[in-house]
Amino acid sequence: MLRRLYSGSNLDRAQSLYDLRARAVKKLPNFCREYLEGGGDDELTLSRNRQSFNDILFRPRMLVDISQRDLSTQIFDQRIAMPLAIAPTGFNGLLSHEGDLKLALAAKKAGIPFIQSLVSTVSLERIAATGVRHWMQLYLFQNRENFKGVIERAKKAGCEALVLTVDTSVLGNRTWDRRNYRAPMQLNLRNLIHLATRPAWVWDILVPKGMPKFTNLGDSLPPNQASAKNAASFLTKEMDASLNWQDVRWLRENWQGKLILKGLLTSEDALQAKALGVDGIVISNHGGRQLDSAPSAIDVLPEIRQAVGQDFLLIVDGGLRRGSDLIKALCLGANLVLSGRATLYGLAAGGQAGADKALEIIQTEADRTLGLLGCTEINQLGKEYLL
């Protein structure tokens, strides 16, 4: 009998994130799958994000009492169940109805932070009301008044941290995604036909209230113009190509909570961020969707950790598919790892139950890997556990 990933609806039978991905691919229309899976240009960076993790080998120690193990850690003076957070990803309402809310509830249940994207399809106030540890991701707009409005809403909602994305001043060339459309946000005939083969998706997404809206851009868009098409046009026009370190300084002065920069890949930029009083950075190539041939986060993590020292929060983003990947990142100096596509596979496969399952798989695999390495706590991890 040939090996085959499980793609059925019984989530209990999913043995790995790859099973959840197989189920997601089976359920999603083609254009949604491409949006979820695609990268920039030739997708070299997208592939490298996985290959870099695969190339890391462990150096386990034996005859250690590993009967009691603990994955919990402390981030910003609060403990979380494991060193993982759900990454900010946009338009999750395409994968499951009110997908962002389901991800937030899954994160709360797992005891980890949820980073909400500005281009999510559930309002930040509703996410904050769940009681999840809530961080809000932002893009800097040319119109600073629009930007200030989102900051004020985040402040009133009690968001713990702002996560400013800095690697999208120029949008990447996502060719496979664009091939699905005959005009911006207008599906071509091939994809419209394929949509008819996914009735469950249609009834989950389109039938309740039509295409999801970018609710967090409501203050920035004209009245009744929060559709995907109008919001995409707005974002393209409003992305500020002049974004620079003075803007980071301004944001630091105007936001009293925790501030994180997402999208840095060099030690020089990490040191600059630290000097400006930023509380941490996300080492990220935007999931391989921006600059192709950029390094993976795990490639540059050791250099950045050495540059900034041990007292600065480093978060790794991109490529996580196994709990063992989380452990590898911790060995190389990360404090926290983000789950982007990994939890989206679960969301697309089975809504909140699927997201719960994805986080359960990651936690179980990470705990098992910790034990197999001969460790009982994650603060014991270091380069000595890698070849």
3-state secondary structure 30-72: HHHHHHHHCCCCCCHHHHHHHHHHHCCCECCCCCCCCCCCECC
Cβ atoms of 287 and 263 within 8 Å: the answer is no
Cβ atoms of 130 and 100 within 8 Å: the answer is no
Q: How far apart are CA 97 and CA 86, in angstroms?
A: 18
| Given the residues 97, 134, 194, 286, the one annotated as active site | 286
CA dihedral (172, 177, 180, 184) in degrees, to 10, reads: -40
118 DSSP assignment: T
Burial class (CB in 10 A: 0-12, 13-18, 19+), 314: buried
Give yes or no: 286 in active site.
Answer: yes
Residue spans of beta strands (DSSP E) within 205-339: 258-264, 280-283, 313-316, 336-339
H-run or E-run covering 80: strand 78-80
Residue position matching structure tokens 């009245």: 223
246 DSSP assignment: H
Residue position matching structure tokens 């991890």: 381
Which residue type, as a one-letter code, is found at position 191?
N
Q: What are the Cα distances from residue 5, in Å, to 21, 63, 69, 363?
A: 9, 35, 30, 20
Nearest-Å Rg of the Cα atoms of the chain is 20
Cβ atoms of 150 and 219 within 8 Å: the answer is yes
Q: How far apart are CA 124 and CA 134, in angstroms?
A: 9
Q: Which two tokens stand for residue 32?
A: 């949604």
Which residues are known catalytic residues? 286
